[in-house]
A = this chain, B = another copy of it.
């Protein structure tokens, strides 16, 4: 096991009816800005319930900021920062999925920068410049990114299509309300993307090389098996409480730091996927479904031991040669994503070999030239991965 330093102070209030408990969690005297995305939290009643709960708390000032995009942009979020300053907001409440929560984290950090600091530096330094942040909480509506219980986010600069991640120990939500019922109104496509996102988050922290971290391995496998078991029902049954509850909790646990504590981590799939989103507008979860099977294929030697363990413990594949078992595990993974209605090839998005050079150029620009758990995925290997994903 590798050494590690783990702390996660986020309070999770989980279950049907939890939104009402907001009244006890938001500081009563705070001036609150409620941040959200499009109209869905309005049409499904979540926003109204949140505002009701705040009203019952006797909250003296509640403002709203709408319009945070699915891939939140720096440009939009800076408008929220301006509102925070103008209206002397001192507590942020994100109502939405990972994009809204990620965006809220950026606002929480950007609003506390010194006047002479450029807010874009939060992204450029991946969060290292963050010395202070506003307190914030979240009401989760879309299980996927785990942002509700971690301290990281991803923000895109619309002007340049740079999509960059940041994190800081100051950016954990104070609390997150996780009510599975809030997910009932999601379109199937978003639920499917969320299942894939949670699955790949887990894989990025699991499919590396063995370090005899047994609990972490078992826990990662537990999340993966759960997602395999519930994935199709989670997508197709819109109001099955227990299935959605298991999806929400799987997605939160997939990226709250625990399964990654003391083990190597990869994240190449995410980094390559981010460029696919930035250049071609493919949903984040769907980029992962394209890239992960190709990473498994191209990195089969470096990941051999864990691929065999994955085949055994997640898919019950125990017959055949090592190569056969690895092939079967990759095929099962691809079939699982496809069973959720998520394609796994660049060709499914009308992208051919000509798409590869610009992606490699973007990785180069963003200094993604040494990816993977051993920092040995060069641009050339990223090219092989993209070729395997055609």
> Which chain A residues have a beta carbon within 8 Å of chain B's beta carbons?
1-18, 21, 175, 212-219, 221-223, 225-226, 229-230, 242, 245-246, 249-250, 253, 258, 261-262
The answer to whether B3 and A246 have CB atoms under 8 Å apart is: no
The answer to whether A11 and B3 have CB atoms under 8 Å apart is: no
The answer to whether B9 and A3 have CB atoms under 8 Å apart is: no
Smallest CB gap from A149: residue in B = B6
Q: Give the residues in chain B near A3, CB-CB below 8 Å.
A: 14-18
Q: Give the residues in chain B near A250, CB-CB below 8 Å.
A: 214-215
The interface centre, meaning the residue of A226, A229, A230 with most chain B CB atoms within 10 A of its CB, is: A226
The answer to whether B1 and A12 have CB atoms under 8 Å apart is: no
**Complex alpha-carbon distance, A4 and B13, angstroms:** 6
Smallest CB gap from A169: residue in B = B11
**A–B complex contacts, Cβ < 8 Å, 16 sampled:** A1-B15, A3-B18, A4-B15, A5-B14, A5-B21, A7-B12, A7-B175, A212-B245, A214-B250, A215-B223, A215-B226, A215-B250, A217-B222, A218-B223, A218-B226, A219-B222
**Complex alpha-carbon distance, A24 and B43, angstroms:** 49
Copies in the complex: 2
Since A4-B12, A218-B218 are in contact, a sample of 7 more A-B pairs with Cβ atoms closer than 8 Å, ordered by chain A residue number, is A1-B249, A5-B11, A5-B21, A215-B226, A217-B222, A218-B226, A219-B219
Q: Which 10 A-B pairs have the closest CB atoms?
A: A218-B222, A3-B15, A7-B11, A9-B9, A212-B242, A1-B245, A214-B226, A6-B12, A214-B246, A4-B14
Q: Give the residues in chain B near A18, CB-CB below 8 Å.
A: 3
- Chain B: minimal CB distance from A306 (Å): 16
Smallest CB gap from A241: residue in B = B1
Smallest CB gap from A244: residue in B = B1
Q: Give the residues in chain B near A262, CB-CB below 8 Å.
A: 14-15, 245, 249
Smallest CB gap from A258: residue in B = B258
- Chain B: minimal CB distance from A376 (Å): 24
The answer to whether B7 and A7 have CB atoms under 8 Å apart is: no
The answer to whether B9 and A7 have CB atoms under 8 Å apart is: yes
The answer to whether A5 and B1 have CB atoms under 8 Å apart is: no
**Complex alpha-carbon distance, A6 and B14, angstroms:** 8
The answer to whether B215 and A1 have CB atoms under 8 Å apart is: no
Which listed residue (B2, B8, B212, B246) contacts A15, Cβ 8 A?
Answer: B2
Q: Give the residues in chain B near A15, CB-CB below 8 Å.
A: 1-4, 262
**Complex alpha-carbon distance, A214 and B221, angstroms:** 12
**Complex alpha-carbon distance, A245 and B3, angstroms:** 10
Smallest CB gap from A2: residue in B = B15
The answer to whether B6 and A246 have CB atoms under 8 Å apart is: no
**Complex alpha-carbon distance, A108 and B297, angstroms:** 54
